[in-house]
Amino acid sequence: MKIRALFPIATLISCSVFFPFSHAEEKALPGTGEKAAQDSFDFKKEFLSSQAEILDSLEKANPKILGKLSKADIARLLKEFTGSLNAGVELLPSLPPSESAPKLEQKREPFQAVTICKNKIFYIRLDDFGPESFAKLKEDSEAVSRLKNRPLGIIIDLRNCSGSTDYQDAMNELLLFCPGQKILEPSTKSDVKRIFDLPLAILTGEKTSGAAEVFVSMMSRSRQGLSIGSKTAGAPFTKKTYPLKDGSCLLIPEIPDFLGNLNIPATPINPAIETPKSTQLPYDKLSGTRDMEEIPDKCLTRAIDLLVSLDAIKEKIRYGTEAPAQKTKGPF
What is the maximum alpha-carbon separation in the chain? Answer: 83
Burial 52-81 (b: 16+ CB within 10 A, else e): bebbeebbeeeeeebeebeeeebeebbbeb
Q: Which of 4-13, 69-78, 94-103, 110-119 has the lowest mean pLDDT?
A: 4-13
Which residue segments constitute the domains of the chain, with CATH numbers given? 3-86 (no CATH), 114-239+257-317 (3.90.226.10)
Average pLDDT, whole number, for the chain?
80
Q: Residue range 86-104: average pLDDT?
A: 71
Q: How far apart are CA 107 and CA 165, in angstroms?
A: 11
CA angle 237/240/246 to nearest 5° reads 135
How many CB atoms lie under 10 A from the CB of residue 245? 5
Higher-scoring residue by pLDDT: 114, 37: 114
Res 146: pLDDT: 92
- Interhelix angle 43-61/7-18, nearest 10 degrees: 100
pLDDT above 90 coverage of the chain, percent = 35
Q: Residue range 161-187: average pLDDT?
A: 86
The pTM assigned to this predicted structure is 0.75
Nearest alpha-carbon partner for 196 in 173, 229, 165: 173
Length of the chain: 332
Higher-scoring residue by pLDDT: 22, 296: 296
Res 105: pLDDT: 56
No. of H helices and E strands in the chain?
Answer: 9, 9
Res 290: pLDDT: 57
Higher-scoring residue by pLDDT: 218, 261: 218
> Positive or negative, the Cα torsion across 49, 52, 58, 61?
negative
Q: How far apart are CA 274 and CA 268, in angstroms?
A: 13
Q: What CA–CA distances, in Å, run from 30 to 21, 26, 36?
A: 21, 12, 10
pLDDT (tens digit, 9 = 90+) per residue, 109-131?
Answer: 899 999 988 889 999 999 999 99
